[in-house]
Amino acid sequence: MLAGNYRRISYPHNSNFGYAACNPGITGCQTVIGNSVFTSGTCPSADQGCVTVPGFQLTQALNGLGQAYVPSFTAYENDVDARLGIKVANPHIYIGAAGLWKDYSYLGYPNINGVGFGLEKLPDLDQPFSLYGTVYYFPSVKGNYTYPTTTLLGSLSGSTIPFSYEILKYEVGGTVNFGKTGVFLDFGYGGERENMKENTPSAVSITHPYVGLGLHF
């Protein structure tokens, strides 16, 4: 079995008040840094513009601060996985190894990649209706994050640190054939759980339904 997926996710990052000129570290302006990546603002607060920065444990050890203010923007993430499997049971059940690559369009987050393993049930496209599913575990999907260069970060300015998640990806779906045309309806529900590992700012949970058309021969 050889399989793969490409997924592009976009979502809004909202902020209530936008950029606020203030001096990081004073009361009402507890932001880590103030530059073109992370701007100064009134943090911490309930404003969604306040975000936890990569490597916040290190910035907190340096100056007691772990958040920065990020004005509104649209974020993009690209996610590619490739899977190679060996059949272990009928019908169409495989164990597999996989590679995962992710990149981000925002805040200097690094490209990350890693390998994993899992179990996969392919659809039975010779049947009018079939079910399928996948689950893959990636113990370390990693890259390197570089802090912005600014005197406000002291010894961390411009330094590079490891950045990694532990990721579980899953998908459950079904297919419905349109007679003998070779065209089928594909539908299902998928998602992933990204657990913090090295210097990542938070855990991430992504879920999504999907529907589309496929063609088999």
16 in a domain, yes or no? no
Better-scored residue on pLDDT, 151 or 14: 14
128 in a domain, yes or no? yes
26 in a domain, yes or no? no
Burial of 99 (0-12, 13-18, 19+ CB in 10 A): middle
Question: Per-residue pLDDT averaged across 151-159, rounded?
Answer: 84
Question: Per-residue pLDDT averaged across 40-62, rounded?
Answer: 83
Task: Say what the pTM is.
Answer: 0.87
Q: For the chain, what percent of residues have pLDDT higher than 70?
A: 88
54 in a domain, yes or no? no
How many distinct structural domains can be found in the chain? 1
89 in a domain, yes or no? yes
52 in a domain, yes or no? no
Residues 29, 22: contact at Cβ < 8 Å? yes
Peptide bond into 44 cis (omega under 30): yes
Instruction: Report the CATH number at residue 79.
Output: 2.40.160
Question: Per-residue pLDDT averaged across 150-173, rounded?
Answer: 91
Question: Per-residue pLDDT averaged across 159-185, rounded?
Answer: 95
88 in a domain, yes or no? yes
So what's the pLDDT on residue 21? 61
Q: Where in the sequence is the domain holding 209, given as residue range(s)? A: 2-11+74-215
Least-confidence region, from 29-43, 132-146, 149-163, 192-206: 29-43
Question: Per-residue pLDDT averaged across 19-33, rounded?
Answer: 60
60-100: pLDDT as tens digits: 888 778 888 888 889 999 999 999 999 999 989 999 999 99
Spatial neighbors of 190 by CB under 8 A, at least 6 apart, are 169, 170, 171, 172, 173, 207, 208, 210
86 in a domain, yes or no? yes
The mean of the pLDDT values for the chain is 88
So what's the pLDDT on residue 44? 73
